[in-house]
């Protein structure tokens, strides 16, 4: 029997996706980024206490000596391996880390090769990267991805680009880049919040242009009113049911990495326990969305 629900689901799901039968497996990974005002150790314990089994490494944390990178670009791969082991000993599987270097930068290729080695040493499957928020140097951007892709493949690491303005303004722009690089180790990490924020473009329409290339998500919502502001999932204007619908039957394991979990309009928590509560709420909200879509 064809129901209204069936018709709605069919209208949102691309024909190619409907032909697939294997459900996508989603893993929930909180980034340490929301805890950047606190030490890394507190971030890891907070993420675990908020119910996560996976973690994505952020950029810097405020330690007693001042801001410190999670892993510096110039760090030896052994340092990354030690941090990976530390996370696993806490019950957190690392799934993603930032490159922290724009793809147009003069040292981008060497830096990304080092990051790939660090990710491989820590057994992290995804290296997240992007470029400047303004367009330009497209040839350099794509050329660096083409040069690093074979090393990524050999190392068992996938380089994922996300929407960040500039050359990667939208999913359509990212799909163009992935198609031009034409390598299985360069794909997309979809950031719906950035699509709505930087471009004021509808991510629900945009994801239809690139979903076959998506291998991860950065979870972030956005509001244009009453204030232009990024926020945690469910607090903004993005319909996450519609957002995830195209990728529900890929047969892949796709990590959902929580980059922004904060409440709009309100100040961020002054104590880490407040971040813990928001991390838990964000996870529970997205888990509810996924469970609902899996039941359709």
Residue 71: which pLDDT band, with cuts at 50, 70 and 90?
Answer: very high
Task: Report the C-alpha gap between 242 and 252 in whole angstroms.
Answer: 19
* Centroid of chain to Cα 98: 9
What residues have CB less than 8 Å from 258, skipping those under 6 apart? 28, 29, 30, 31, 34, 56, 219, 232, 233, 279, 282, 283, 286
pLDDT at 134: 92
Average pLDDT over residues 63-79: 97
Does residue 18 register a pLDDT over 70? no
How far is residue 216 from each of residues 225, 243, 254, measured CA to CA in Å? 28, 13, 5
Does residue 8 register a pLDDT over 90? no
Task: Report the C-alpha gap between 292 and 48 in whole angstroms.
Answer: 24
115 in Cβ contact with 80 (< 8 Å): no
Residue 162: which pLDDT band, with cuts at 50, 70 and 90?
Answer: very high
Average pLDDT over residues 180-189: 98
Residue 287: which pLDDT band, with cuts at 50, 70 and 90?
Answer: very high
Please, what is the average pLDDT of the chain? 94
Tens-place pLDDT, residues 105-138: 999 999 999 999 999 999 999 999 999 999 999 9
Residue indicated by tokens 């689901």:
9
Burial 261-277 (b: 16+ CB within 10 A, else e): bbebeeeebeebeebbb
Angle in degrees, CA 153, 18, 211, rounded to 5: 40
Identify the bridge partners of residue 253 per DSSP, sorted by sequence position: 25
Average pLDDT over residues 156-185: 98
Residue 234: which pLDDT band, with cuts at 50, 70 and 90?
Answer: very high
By percentage, how much of the chain surpasses pLDDT 90?
A: 93
pTM, full prediction: 0.93
Lowest average pLDDT, out of 13-22, 66-75, 162-171, goes to 13-22
Task: Report the C-alpha gap between 296 and 6 in whole angstroms.
Answer: 8
Tens-place pLDDT, residues 189-223: 999 999 999 999 999 999 999 999 999 999 999 99
Does residue 39 register a pLDDT over 90? yes
130 in Cβ contact with 169 (< 8 Å): no
Does residue 4 register a pLDDT over 90? no
* Centroid of chain to Cα 200: 19
Residue 20: which pLDDT band, with cuts at 50, 70 and 90?
Answer: low
Does residue 239 register a pLDDT over 70? yes
pLDDT at 133: 94
Domains and CATH numbers, the chain: 4-295 (3.20.20.150)
59 in Cβ contact with 70 (< 8 Å): yes
Lowest average pLDDT, out of 126-130, 131-135, 141-145, 261-265, goes to 131-135
Does residue 21 register a pLDDT over 80? no
């Amino acid at each position: 029997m064809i129901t209204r629900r069936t018709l709605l689901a069919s209208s949102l799901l691309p024909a190619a996706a409907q032909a697939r039968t294997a459900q996508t497996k989603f893993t929930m990974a909180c980034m340490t980024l929301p805890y950047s005002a606190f030490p890394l150790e507190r971030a890891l314990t907070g993420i675990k206490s908020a119910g996560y089994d996976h973690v994505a490494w952020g950029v810097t944390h405020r330690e007693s000596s001042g801001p410190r990178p999670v892993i510096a670009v110039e760090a030896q791969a052994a340092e990354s391996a030690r941090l990976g082991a530390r996370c696993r000993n806490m019950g957190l599987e690392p799934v993603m880390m930032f490159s922290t270097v724009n793809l147009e930068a003069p040292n981008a290729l060497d830096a990304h090769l080092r990051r790939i080695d660090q990710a491989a040493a820590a057994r992290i499957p995804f290296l997240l990267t992007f470029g400047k928020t303004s367009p330009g140097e497209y040839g350099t951007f794509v050329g660096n991805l083409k040069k690093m892709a074979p090393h990524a493949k050999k190392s068992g690491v996938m380089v994922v680009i996300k929407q960040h303005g500039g050359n990667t303004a939208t999913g359509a722009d990212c799909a163009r880049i992935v198609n031009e690089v034409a390598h299985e180790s360069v794909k997309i990490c979809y950031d719906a919040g950035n699509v709505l924020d930087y471009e004021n473009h509808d991510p629900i329409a945009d994801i239809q242009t690139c979903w076959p290339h998506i291998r991860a998500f950065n979870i972030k919502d956005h509001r244009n009113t009453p204030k232009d502001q990024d926020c945690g999932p469910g607090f903004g204007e993005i319909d996450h049911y519609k957002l995830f619908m195209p990728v529900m039957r890929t047969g892949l394991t796709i990590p959902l990495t929580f980059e922004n979990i904060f409440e709009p309009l309100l100040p961020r928590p002054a104590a880490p326990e407040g971040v813990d509560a928001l991390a838990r709420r964000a996870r529970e909200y997205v888990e509810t969305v996924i469970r609902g879509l899996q039941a359709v």
